[in-house]
Structure 1
Amino acid sequence: MAYDTFETIQRFWQRFAREELEGLPPDERRRIAAEFEARFGRLTSDAAGDDQTAFADLIGLGAKGALPFGEIAWPRLVADFDAAVVPSQLHAAAELYMIYQYERAGVFRVAEILRRLYRDGRMRIQRGPGARGLYLLEKWQPLRYGPRDRLVAYMRVFNYGKAPRPAGAIVNVNFHYQLVGLMSALAQYFRDLTIGEVIRGGQTLEQRPYGTLATVQRLATDLRYALDRASYGNIVALTQEAGLHLRQLLDLFDTPDIKKAFDANNKWDVVEQVLHRHFGGARELSQRTKMAESGRRVLLWVAGGDFETGDDPQQFNIEAQPAGAHAEAWLAAYRMTDEGRRFPGVTENLRWAVGLPPRDARMTVA
């Protein structure tokens, strides 16, 4: 498509859209404007034609010789950077985050302690399914990726732990800052949405929250990009293997004879009892399991989101509502952990995440 044609289509389409939208009710205007935007994109894409010879035409080496600028094909550049991610890596990163939180909760340490107690005859179980499972625990060990490999994976993808950084590997050094910033943005967005509905007197007036949708989208997109570039290599295979092993351990803790040995009602009572007896307590067990569940859910939402700049706010609200609830739950659990006790609160942290110093942030709010 020549530049003159491109300019003409754009000018006439904008005039046509303005004339058609004038006088329509607000709800219908928003719906039709979004449809116009989508159709305009398809029109310019279909009309672009072949611009493979544009450079030759530009320098005068094409079949028609030197052409005026208005007759040279206009290049149609596609902004697809944010979509250039590998979904399988992002899903693996979400599962790996849950595995990490279970590691911090002490699940893998509990399994090792139970294996030793059974081997040394310090636990009164004999022929039940738990005893059989502990006997087979050596065969249940991951085939290729053991504890050290998990620690290295946590360091690479999340910058968590103290494992050595592999030489030449990309380490996602900003993961925690981006994750807390996204959780704060999601929580603040839906809090402001609720406040906006109360002030306006209902959900249908204005149809826009006070919360900044673009901030949530940008933080989510940046987090997705950073996870994608740090989760290559063996992360997918390691996550699948470690996840299967973790599932087997949780099923083992839930066997009747092991629960009876610790006077427990469920597998988490077993974990708690072992941590109390052999590791001095289980202070963050509840918080870590909730962070595992909610963190994985938000990361899966990030992995599957389109985050188009022109998204309909109402559609975004519907799709992001579950993630927003999990963000609030994650923040509530995080603030009760040792590192989360210094969390300044959703509002202050969100101001910091978008680059506002505290003093400037207070002046902006005032």
Structure 2
Amino acid sequence: MGTEKEYRELFDRVAALRGQVAGKLANELGSDPKLGDAVLKQLDDMLTAVETEQRGRPGPADGGIAQLVGLGDGSAADLGATAMPPGVDAYDETVASERVIAVGDLYYLYQHERIGVFRVVQKLQELFQGGAIRLSDGPGAFGLYRFDRRDVLRYTRRDRVSAYRRVLGYGKGLGSANSRPNTDFHQLFTQFSNQVALFWRDKRISDVVRERAYDPSFGSVAVVRRSGLDLRNNLKFTSYGHLNVLRVEVMQLLTEAFKILGSEDVLDLFGAANAWDTVDEVLIRYFDQRLVSSPRQRMAVTGRQVLRWLAAPHILETTRSEFEALLLEIAEPAEEWLTSAQSLRLADRTNSREVLPADRQRPAGVAVSRAEPRPVTPRRNGHRPGTVITLDRK
């Protein structure tokens, strides 16, 4: 821990160094703005290294209060000789990546649940046990038997639905163990996807309008970063508990389900070419359901990609050129997620660069996405079209 004088002089020297470098490189900076980013990054790294070294120094046992108030032999003669802490660790650097990755997997599973993959397998089980379909001893029939026998060892559908409600805020009621549902997730996720898509649309326009455009008005890094941090911080407290174990188990369950749906005897039974054709055929034939398999599945894949990107420290990159290079990884996934969500009326595009306020109220003139509605399924058994069918309905 350094003194207040050393602390003050450090920033004075850094400021003088920045001014001197900017003056000497003025001509080069005008023709190559990326040079300024490189110089500033080196200076920032030097300052960070000095602050880290000062933070590692052992300070006074009392934290410096005796020096400050003038008690004892070690009292300071003036303010500059007192101990000056450099600060605490940044809040946004304390998020565990494995928990955000787990949320991405849970979102992937939720979309497949909404498509109806597990309902399809359950329906096949009912038909198989009742002898209503021509399956006997093939790989699909044996897989359905094992799928049923292992049911007592797995999380139930109600457990899954409660986890979706607690972590993602989808559905209704309380989350797992009567916990508070994360109703802000969808709004924050849509906002982040919108800002990423808007950033790259502006960037492409700037590249067309003028060569080597580097105007901050063409894509705001700060707005993208703030919306990403808001989403990541939202997931910080909802990703504890049994989420990691549950998503591993349900991912195994999903893989097992697709092995059954893609087995040779099941494909022959429905005249399907692959497991997804089987899913669609069962949903149409036995549930009379309007198919949303394609947009939902793309939302699952691209949404998981975006959340996995947030689990990495890329969002904290301060250099514009490096941030753009890292953000390029999710430029197309964010656009595709928005397009798929729009086709299902689950998200709205916005051209506003404003971020959501902390109280989650809608700012004036900003389109905010709707929360995911309950699934609506027309049925043949007497229910009117538009009847709400919940995920945990038996």
Q: Deviations over 1:96-137 (max 9, x none)?
A: 000000000000100100111111111112221111111111
Q: After alignment, is 270-279 or 47-56 more displaced? A: 47-56
Distance, in Å, in 1 between the alignment partners of 2:366 and 2:251 is 45
Deviating more after overlay: 144-153 vs 15-24: 15-24
Question: Within 1, Cα distance between the matches of 2:13 and 2:283?
Answer: 71
Q: C-alpha displacement at 1:281, in angstroms?
A: 2.1
Distance 1:137 1:344, change over 3 A: closer
Equivalent residue, structure 2, for 1:271:
279
Q: Compared with structure 1, are the counterparts of its residues 344 and 138 closer, same or farther at alpha carbon in structure 2 (3 Å cutoff)?
A: closer
After TM superposition, give the deviation of residue 177 of structure 1 in Å. 0.5
Q: State yes or no: 1:346 paired with 2:350.
A: yes
* Residue of structure 1 in register with 2:248 after alignment: 240
Taking the aligned partners of 1:221 and 1:142, their CA distance within structure 2 comes to 39
Letter in 2 for 1:161: G
Instruction: Tell me which moved more, 74-83 or 287-296.
Output: 74-83
Q: State the one-letter code of the partner of 1:311.
A: T
2:259 is the counterpart of 1:251: yes
Indicate whether 1:226 and 2:234 are aligned.
yes
Confirm or deny that 1:311 pairs with 2:318.
yes
Is residue 6–residue 44 contact of structure 1 (8 Å, CA) maintained in 2? no
Q: Return the match for 1:122 from 108, 132, 139.
A: 132
1: CA distance between counterparts of 2:348 and 2:124? 39
What is the aligned partner in structure 2 of residue 357 from structure 1? 364
In 2, Cα distance between equivalents of 1:183 and 1:166: 27
Cα distance per residue 1:16-50 (max 9 Å; x no partner): 23212323212323211210111122123324533
For 2:373, the equivalent position in structure 1 comes to none
Q: Which residue of 2 aligns with 1:112?
A: 122
Is the 8 Å Cα contact of residues 297 and 326 (structure 1) preserved in structure 2?
Answer: yes
Question: CA contact under 8 A between 2:76 and 2:82: conserved in structure 1?
Answer: no
Matches of 1:146 and 1:167 in 2, distance apart?
14
1:34 to 41, 45, 51: 41
Q: Pick one of 97, 101, 115 that aligns with 1:91.
A: 101
The aligned residue for residue 217 of structure 1 is 225
CA distance in 2, matches of 1:163, 1:128: 41
Task: List aligned pairs for 1:163-242, cutoff 5 A.
Answer: 163-166=173-176, 169-200=179-210, 202=211, 204-206=212-214, 210-242=218-250
Q: Which moved more, 1:63-72 or 1:115-124?
A: 63-72
Larger CA deviation: 328-337 vs 64-73: 64-73
Runs of 4+ in 1 over 6 A off after TM superposition: none
How many Å separate the matches in 1 of 2:133 and 2:73? 87
Provide the C-alpha distance between the structure 2 equivalents of 1:78 and 1:84, rounded to a whole number of angstroms.
12
Gap regions ≥5 residues in structure 1: 361-366
Q: Is the 8 A contact 1:197 1:209 kept in 2?
A: no
Shift of 1:63: 4.4
Paired residues of 2:163 and 2:176 also in contact (CA < 8 A)? no
Change (3 A) 1:226 1:142: farther
Deviation of the 1:142 alpha carbon: 6.6
Of 119-128 and 252-261, more deviation after overlay is shown by 119-128
Q: Flag the 1:205–1:88 CA change in 2: closer, same or farther, 3 A.
A: closer
Distance apart, 1:145 and its partner CA: 1.4
Tell me which moved more, 135-144 or 116-125: 135-144
> Please, which moves more after superposition, 55-64 or 264-273?
55-64
Q: Which has the higher helix share?
A: 1
Per-residue CA deviations over 1:38-77 (Å, capped at 9, x if unaligned) read 1122123324533343123223345413542110011110
In the superposition, relative to structure 1, how do residues 47 and 166 fare at CA in structure 2: closer, same or farther (>3 Å)?
A: closer
Aligned length: 353
Looking at structure 1, the residues matched to 304 and 355 of structure 2 have their Cα atoms a distance apart, in angstroms, of: 24
Structure 2 spans left out of the alignment, 5+ residues: 368-394
TM-score scaled by structure 1? 0.90
- Of 240-249 and 39-48, deviating more is 39-48
Percent of aligned positions with the same letter in both sequences?
Answer: 28
Aligned-partner Cα distance in 2 for 1:88–1:142: 28
Q: Is the 8 A contact 1:90 1:224 kept in 2?
A: yes
Distance 2:176 2:225 in 1: 31
Judging changes above 3 Å, is the alpha-carbon distance between structure 1 residues 250 and 168 closer, same or farther for their aligned structure 2 residues?
Answer: closer
Determine the structure 2 residue equivalent to 1:363.
Answer: none
Which AA in structure 2 matches 1:10? Answer: F
Amino acid at match of 1:325: E
Cα 1:150/1:168, change in 2 over 3 Å: closer
Contact 1:172–1:230 under 8 Å retained in 2: yes
1:225 Cα deviation from its structure 2 partner: 1.1
Residue of structure 1 aligned with 2:170, choices 155, 160, 169: 160
